[in-house]
Amino acid sequence: MNALFPDGFRWGAATAAYQIEGAASEDGRTPSIWDTFSRTPGKVRNGDTGDIAADHYHRVRQDVALMKELGLTDYRFSLSWSRIQPTGRGPAVQKGLDFYRGLADELLDAGIRPVATLYHWDLPQELEDAGGWPERATAERFAEYAGLAAEALGDRVTTWTTLNEPWCAAFLGYGSGVHAPGRTDDEAALRAAHHLNLAHGLAAGVLRAAVPASTELSLTLNLHAIRALSDSPEDRDAARRIDAVGNRIFLDPVFHGRLPADLVEDTARITDWSFVRDGDLEAVSTPIDSLGVNYYSPSVVGAGVSESPSPWPGAPERVRFVPAPGPRTAMDWPVDADGLYELLVRLRDELPGVPLLITENGAAYDDYADPEGDVHDPERVAYLDAHLAAAHRAIADGADVRGYFLWSLLDNFEWAYGYGKRFGIVHVDFASQRRTPKDSARWYAEVIRRGGLSR
């Protein structure tokens, strides 16, 4: 018996520019905050950088051929802002735009829909030097950048995503400091979250005016599947706090044009939110066509105290995170596909009429090429199978899920973990840049061919 997905279901894989492109200083590209952060001693394991990464910049045809071989219908990639607009201001660099035009054309020739993300964490360093995401001007610059990208690629890209995981950009970048730019300032993190929301709304408005009416506009959030440790009032309040600053800080402004009242109360000792100006929330709630959902594992929280500096402003003195039971990935993240089902059903209930895309889902394991050159990754196959089954169950229960984008197509630069963690279904030998499809790639190709899971 097969668990088949609906006709027209989109089968994709995802990557991000800084994680795979390399060519960090070629053809006019200037440093992003991740170039700077990765060169800062102690910030990235082994001092790794994305200077070469998976060398995708020079291997586009090879990589698209792999996608075609897998049978992908869609490919989700991000644009490097500093490759297109090196200072974050002014005219575009044509060689940067030409790279993405060439990628999109290669995809279209292979019968694969281009799904472009404008921002996957690589802010031009000059904009960070001017204040970064805590400053309103960065959102305004982002809207201008969106216009440049739309003018150059609007006739090729079928789906535009404004931002990928603004929670990470705001709270790991400006709160806990474990991601670029590495700042630890709760007030700056909350300002960044608002200005990322504003950037999304302004860019969505620019895109809507510039691209064909048939083009899909989207936003991708790493929504947290949160479970209270117990039913006690204290543990339930801990879960509420994390939901406010992890989920509703984005969902409420984007889909309802409002800030969560409990979030404002929770963070009152940090900020009065006066940086939210009249008209901001109206702009943030510019209508979009779908919501991207990134999911890897659930969070179990209870009353207590968490680490400092924390990515959870307004919560660390009242909340602790508890390790979830069960198997774990090489990232030490729990494997629990039920969390994906819970998120999709929640969104079904809270955002009726909003189509959903699973825009990232995958797992890192310590896989390697054996003496014959093969890469066996049964744990990843089991992870993907369980999560696709959870998505299928959510669809059966009424969730409007339109597609699944596996993370990731290629082994890559895994942010602060450097090259020590492998998420790809295609193994990359970073010394030789040789690509080897893993067992999981062959498994996924068969799922796509079949249109679902074999049960």
Q: Catalytic site residues?
A: 165, 360
- Which pairs from 432-437 meet CB under 8 Å and 24+ separation? 433/54, 433/55, 433/59, 435/62, 435/63, 435/66, 435/410, 436/369, 436/373, 436/374, 436/375, 437/66, 437/69, 437/70, 437/375
User: Mapping DSSP to helix (H, G, I), strand (E, B) and coil, where does residue 285 land?
Assistant: coil
**What secondary structure letter does DSSP report for 291?**
E
**Closest to 77 in 3D by CA, of 133, 145, 19, 147:** 19
Count other C-beta atoms under 10 Å from residue 114's C-beta. 21
Block residue for tokens 């492109």: 21
Count other C-beta atoms under 10 Å from residue 304's C-beta. 16
Beta-bridged to residue 319, according to DSSP, are 303
The whole-angstrom separation of Cα 157 and Cα 104 is 7
The whole-angstrom separation of Cα 55 and Cα 173 is 25
The whole-angstrom separation of Cα 280 and Cα 340 is 31
**What secondary structure letter does DSSP report for 334?**
B
**Closest to 81 in 3D by CA, of 122, 25, 128:** 122
Count other C-beta atoms under 10 Å from residue 225's C-beta. 21
Residue 226 · residue 167 · CB < 8 Å: no
User: Mapping DSSP to helix (H, G, I), strand (E, B) and coil, where does residue 59 land?
Assistant: coil
The whole-angstrom separation of Cα 385 and Cα 377 is 13
